[in-house]
Amino acid sequence: MKGLYVITDCARLPTDPLLSITEQILRAGITALQYRDKSADPVKRTREALALHTLCRDYDCLFIINDDVQLARDTGSDGVHLGQGDCSCKAAREALGTGAIIGVSCYNSLARAQAAAQQGADYIAFGSFYPTSSKHNTARAETGIIEQAKAGLSLPVAVIGGITPANCTTLLKHGADLLAVISSVYQAEDPYSTVKKFNQIIGVAK
């Protein structure tokens, strides 16, 4: 896994613009899309997840559900991303099967990353590396943790938090495999061109 990992901006966008902008993003070429919606409307969440999954299949992109293992199972997604307080990797694996992709947020903790690896995670994520408006009260991570994880663990490393085309090179130089972004593409004047710029910097052909 290497490239741009886009997380949906559901806090700001209703369904129709969310789908429209997401298709622009997918058309430009990304590695994975994560559906992250914290609303308490299960009907909306299921409807959006199914629509986004269809788009991801059309554009050959991995589709990951944030936090909700049951939604991931119900919608046939490629996997789930787990944060602090969510179920264990083991429980997610039992629910979704051996082929599912399971990612774990490790914030600024190498110990959490090591535990995730032992429990069978497929990738780990660190952050926030830069100030971000997408999440509040986030832990700050330093670039050294990327190098430590790459040296000690054989897992792809995702990085998140205020990442833009202007500041992502440092993270890539320290070994980041996946750049996880929200506002830098969803709030861009031209999401398609912004994704293309990220891909050029990362060095992936999309």
Catalytic residues: 36, 105, 135
Tokens, residue 43:
């009907």
Strand, coil or helix: 183? helix
Tokens, residue 4:
């741009």
Cβ contact 103:123 at 8 Å: yes
| DSSP code string of 114-169 | HHHHHTT-SEEEEE--S--SSSSSPPP--THHHHHHHHH--S-EEEESS--TTTHH
**CB burial class (10 A; 0-12, 13-18, 19+) of residue 191?**
buried
174-184 in b/e burial notation, b at 16+ Cβ within 10 A?
A: bebbbbbbbbb
Strand, coil or helix: 44? helix
Cβ contact 130:151 at 8 Å: no
Cβ contact 73:96 at 8 Å: yes
